[in-house]
Amino acid sequence: MIDFHAHILPGADHGSDGLKTSLRQLELAEAAHVDTIVATPHFYPQSDSFSEFLHRRERTASELANHYHGPIRILLGAEVHMCVGLDHLPGIKELCVSGTSVILSELTFRGYAGNMGETFDRMQDDGLIPILAHVDRYDPDIIESYFSQGVQGQVNADALIHRFGRRHLLNWIDDGWVIALGSDIHMTEKGYGPYLKARGILGDRAGRLDRETARLLKDAKALTNGETQKGEGSWISSR
Ligand SMILES: [Fe+2]
């Protein structure tokens, strides 16, 4: 079971206030039988220094890797706030899930959510695979305009729990536009309860999403897990 979107790096953003919280988040994920988590700290190109972000992510990822010895494979990524021209950011590849060209891309809520078409186009031309974060949060017409240009999406677990709006999310999964499920976990209050509940609602679709996500991440390199520590390399190819 893969969690494609999670804020679990200690102190990297408001998702975890420190190591104790991050380890508790991973304990909750283990109890839910999650085996793979993509750590996706927020990156805001409008206000964050890119080098500081990379440094912070590296430091917090190392701290977690040094203290977590459980079975979950943790992959390193980012949740990148979209802005027009993001494709010009030197080193943008660093924001992809480690070892892949997959970049979790968050649209803004205000006004500009529909203005990213050309930026996504250029990102795709450059070989990146942008995945829209929590597609459940936005105007479906805007999201479908991105689907029509080949950008796929991730859905948050808690959106599937509510009946309102669920139908079109399930349709998007069935049509192959939504290819990943995320807890979007922040701190520990909600834990993995909504994630498990969502999987129950998804039924067979949950396994299909896992397979599609695994395909997307087939070249990913794990930050920490028993297998890579034994030198077996890519977590999926080692299966
Ligand atoms: Fe998030």
Measure 87 CA to ligand 1 centroid, in angstroms.
Answer: 20
Measure 133 CA to ligand 1 centroid, in angstroms.
Answer: 7
Instruction: Tell me whether residue 234 is in a domain.
Output: no
Measure 198 CA to ligand 1 centroid, in angstroms.
Answer: 17
* Residue span of the structural domain in which 180 resides: 2-229
Label residue 230 by pLDDT band (50, 70, 90): very low
CA distance 195 to 26: 13
7 vs 163: which has the higher pLDDT: 7
Measure 70 CA to ligand 1 centroid, in angstroms.
Answer: 23
Mean pLDDT calculated for residue range 164-192: 96
Measure 184 CA to ligand 1 centroid, in angstroms.
Answer: 5
Instruction: Tell me whether residue 113 is in a domain.
Output: yes
Looking at residue 109, its pLDDT comes to: 79
CA distance 163 to 120: 31
CA distances from 93 to 59, 69, 143 (A): 19, 28, 23
CA distances from 12 to 63, 68, 217 (A): 11, 16, 23
Instruction: Tell me whether residue 161 is in a domain.
Output: yes
Measure 186 CA to ligand 1 centroid, in angstroms.
Answer: 8
Residue 191: pLDDT above 50? yes
Measure 20 CA to ligand 1 centroid, in angstroms.
Answer: 20
Instruction: Tell me whether residue 237 is in a domain.
Output: no
Measure 79 CA to ligand 1 centroid, in angstroms.
Answer: 6
Report the number of distinct structural domains present in the chain.
1
Measure 15 CA to ligand 1 centroid, in angstroms.
Answer: 8
Mean pLDDT calculated for residue range 18-29: 98
Measure 88 CA to ligand 1 centroid, in angstroms.
Answer: 23
Measure 230 CA to ligand 1 centroid, in angstroms.
Answer: 31
Residue 149: pLDDT above 80? yes
Instruction: Tell me whether residue 99 is in a domain.
Output: yes
Instruction: Tell me whether residue 9 is in a domain.
Output: yes
> Nearest-CA neighbor of 229 among 105, 69, 95?
69
Instruction: Tell me whether residue 83 is in a domain.
Output: yes
Mean pLDDT calculated for residue range 14-24: 98
Measure 183 CA to ligand 1 centroid, in angstroms.
Answer: 8
Count Cα atoms within 13 angstroms, Cβ side, for 188.
15
Q: Give me the residues near ligand 1 (ion), CB cutoff below 5 Å.
A: 79, 184
Measure 5 CA to ligand 1 centroid, in angstroms.
Answer: 6
Q: Within the chain, where are the H helices?
A: 19-31, 50-67, 117-125, 140-147, 157-161, 166-174, 193-202, 204-216, 226-229
Q: Which residues, at least 6 apart from 84, have a Cβ–Cβ distance to it below 8 Å?
A: 112, 115, 116, 118, 119
Count Cα atoms within 13 angstroms, Cβ side, for 14.
0
Average pLDDT, the chain: 92
Q: Which residue has the tokens 């069935």?
A: 174
231 vs 85: which has the higher pLDDT: 85
Measure 231 CA to ligand 1 centroid, in angstroms.
Answer: 31
Q: Indicate which CATH number applies to the domain containing 62.
A: 3.20.20.140
Percent of all residues in the chain with a pLDDT value above 70, rounded to a whole number: 93
Measure 54 CA to ligand 1 centroid, in angstroms.
Answer: 17
pTM for the structure as a whole: 0.93
Looking at residue 231, its pLDDT comes to: 37
Instruction: Tell me whether residue 112 is in a domain.
Output: yes
Mean pLDDT calculated for residue range 221-235: 56
Looking at residue 81, its pLDDT comes to: 96
Measure 193 CA to ligand 1 centroid, in angstroms.
Answer: 17
Counting beta carbons within 10 angstroms of the beta carbon of residue 89, is it exposed (0 to 12), middle (13 to 18) or buried (19 or more)? middle
Residue 236: pLDDT above 50? no
Label residue 111 by pLDDT band (50, 70, 90): low
Lateral strand order in the sheet of 2-6: 2-6, 36-39, 73-76, 222-224
